[in-house]
A = this chain, B = another copy of it.
Amino acid sequence: MAAELAGNCLISQTGGPSAVINASLAGVVTEALNHGCIEEVYGALNGVQGILGEELVDLAAESQQAVRGLRHTPGAALGSCRLKLKKQQDFDRVLAVFQAHNIRYFFCIGGTESMEMAAKIGETARAANYDLRVIGVPKTIDNDLPATDHCPGYGSAVKYIGTTVKELAIDADALGSGDLVTIVEVMGRNAGWLAAGAALAKRRDHPNDPPHLVYVPEVLFDPAKFLEDVRRILKREKHCILVVGEGLVDKDGNYVAVETSGTDALGQAQLGGVGEYLKDLVEAQVGAKMRVARLGVAQRAAAHLGSKTDSDEAFLAGQAAVKVAVNGETDKMITLVRGDGDAYTCETGLAALADVSVNTKRLPKEWINEDGVSMNFQFYRYATPLIQGEVAVPFENGLPLYTRLAKEGVDKALPAYEG
């Protein structure tokens, strides 16, 4: 065990929120209060933006009720940001803020870019001989972070997507009025994890259940085969439910939606989504009635339908970050490690921040059926456990009751940063 390091801790949230990023925050706060070596528990408002601006809040002053409520509250309770630190001057400022507030533990909840930044903050501290422990907590609904079996945020997004696809399919089926194609566009710019997750809406042993067709960026898109797929389904079923990931690419590896613009005679810069592109294809070639649903940001915000497994693991990852930091670890990211047994189990592990490269983890090709539009048992075995259980969300006056933090400010110690 490393020498005990006494001081304060700071937590930040960066990048796009998810339904469970606040559960990780709750995990860090709850666990931090268990360790005497951690004196104050601070949060940075709006990620690194708040660190640069020295806008810190006292999380230990929040009510226990509020911290508990974080476990089912969407968004990023501390506020997030998309700011990227580039200049060494920025990193020096971060260190100055840490020194001014005796921050010895830094917990960074975020995706790939946040992990890179956390690594750089760690380096800056080391170079200045400032004793600091930096631990990353992964989050992304895209599930494309390397080194971890899956990412907190993914299970809840898939639970929402699967439910919505199921409901849209039941609605379409009820209409019974012949050829109707429903296109559901989901997120996932570089990997098909979310689109593939929609396949969970199929019942076991009912391969003909909706969604009938799933298009992921890992399978190069062929318009001729696509139209054949749609025609085949319409012939077999009354309607066709089709799910597509926004990052679909053609045989040359270009985004399908971008290619449309390229071949557009008017050369308009404004693009429709891939859902609209597929709609246009079907309308021109097949002539069916069409509906397009673009789930958008709701995919990462629908905490009313969160996966309990996902939320619990997000909390666990937050707790684990504190435990390993207190034990002397630094410059690591918490990972989720799946057990080998038949029954699903999940523990936390560690990866070096430096190893969490910008490479995205894609859907394994061997999990996709030969038809290119459905998933096989390996994907089901992987994803099914991640959506199990429902988060108990309290309702008030008919709508979910989400938590707002009091955000009691910490006095500033430094002059304003000019950047």
Contact = CB atoms under 8 A, between A and B. Distances in A.
A123 to B, nearest CB: 26
A162 B296 contact: no
A70 B182 CA distance: 24
A76 interface: yes
Interface in A141-188: 159, 162-164, 166-168, 170-177, 182
B296 A174 contact: no
A176 B46 contact: yes
A178 to B, nearest CB: 10
Interface string A385-419: 00111100001011110100000000000000000
B397 A304 contact: no
A79 B75 CA distance: 38
Interface string A274-302: 00000000000000000111101110111
What's the interface size class on A, roughly? Answer: 35 or more
Given A170-B73, A174-B17, A296-B291, A163 B79 contact: no
A387 B399 contact: yes
A75 B399 contact: no
A200 B79 contact: no
A167 B74 contact: yes
A82 interface: yes
Contact of A49 (B170, B172, B176, B307): B176
A17 B168 CA distance: 11
A166 B402 contact: yes
Majority DSSP secondary structure for residues of A touching B: mixed
Contacts of A17: 171, 174-175
* Copies per assembly: 2
A16 B74 CA distance: 31
Contacts of A182: 297
A304 B167 CA distance: 9
A109 interface: no
Given A163-B304, A176-B49, A297-B293, A170 B397 contact: no
A305 interface: yes
Interface of A: 13, 16-17, 45-46, 49, 73-77, 79-82, 159, 162-164, 166-168, 170-177, 182, 200-201, 204, 266, 291-294, 296-298, 300-305, 307, 384, 387-390, 395, 397-400, 402
27 contacts: A45-B176, A49-B176, A73-B170, A79-B174, A80-B174, A81-B176, A81-B177, A162-B398, A163-B399, A163-B400, A167-B303, A168-B298, A168-B301, A171-B297, A171-B300, A171-B301, A172-B297, A200-B398, A200-B399, A204-B397, A292-B296, A293-B294, A293-B298, A384-B397, A384-B398, A387-B398, A389-B398
Which are the 4 A-B pairs with shortest beta-carbon distances? A387-B398, A75-B170, A76-B174, A75-B174
